[in-house]
Amino acid sequence: MALFGIRLLLMLVAFFFLLRDGSALLDWFIGATPLAPERVREMMREFRIVARSALMANFVTAAAQAAVATIGFTIAGAPSPIFFGLLSLFSALIPSVGTTLVTFPVAGLMLLLGHPWSALFLAVWAALVVGLIDNVLRPILIRGQGQLNGALVLLSLIGAMSAFGGVGLFVGPLALAFFLAVVRTRRRDRETPAAGEMGLGR
């Protein structure tokens, strides 16, 4: 928990400086990179699209998981399903933990209250239905606005989360966008001289 707090604090500090000095940092990056300025701006536009897609995907996925978890709480007869649904919404935004921080403890509570079948149903509902939403809906949403291949998005999420933990939810799509932007830039650089040579040949 302490490590998560430190990471959250560092993320907030970095976010503050990005908001304050983002334009200056972008100008420095454009001047420092050997690529043409228009190529760098093009890659940054792709980064912006993918970053917005990743953020939107996280919020929409969290809301969907919370709604489905609330349905599970209601079916299982858990006390205060709306309250636990709101807790699920906030916990779904926590990387690597998600709604399991709420759903499984509620299942344990149902077991302690003497409802073993309700507890079993809620545990299965949380593991299969609620968890499936995170694995299916998030890649679809990121792919939609970023125009990325769905399989590549899923693989980037899995690989980045294995390497970086919860931060991989953002690092994976951004790294994929950077790689594809570099590939597209190099391909255009190869195609442009070829087109010029064909024009001269005529």
**pLDDT, tens digit, 9 for 90 and up, residues 48-59:** 776 777 777 778
Q: Residues 125-142: what's their mean pLDDT?
A: 80
Q: What was the pLDDT predicted at 120?
A: 92
Q: What was the pLDDT predicted at 140?
A: 75
* Residue 130 reports pLDDT greater than 70: yes
177, with CB counted inside 10 A (0-12, 13-18, 19+), is buried
Mean pLDDT of the chain: 75
Q: What was the pLDDT predicted at 7?
A: 65
Count other C-beta atoms under 10 Å from residue 125's C-beta: 20
Token reading at 55 = 């953020």
Spatial CA neighbour of 119 closest among 106, 102, 129: 106
60: CB partners within 8 A, 6+ apart:
137, 141
**pLDDT, tens digit, 9 for 90 and up, residues 144-166:** 555 555 566 667 767 776 776 66
Count other C-beta atoms under 10 Å from residue 175's C-beta: 17
Record the pTM: 0.62
Q: What was the pLDDT predicted at 70?
A: 92
* Residue 46 reports pLDDT greater than 80: no
* Residue 111 reports pLDDT greater than 80: yes
Q: What was the pLDDT predicted at 74?
A: 92
R_g over Cα of the chain: 22
* Residue 30 reports pLDDT greater than 60: yes
* Residue 193 reports pLDDT greater than 60: no
**pLDDT, tens digit, 9 for 90 and up, residues 60-82:** 888 898 999 999 999 988 888 89
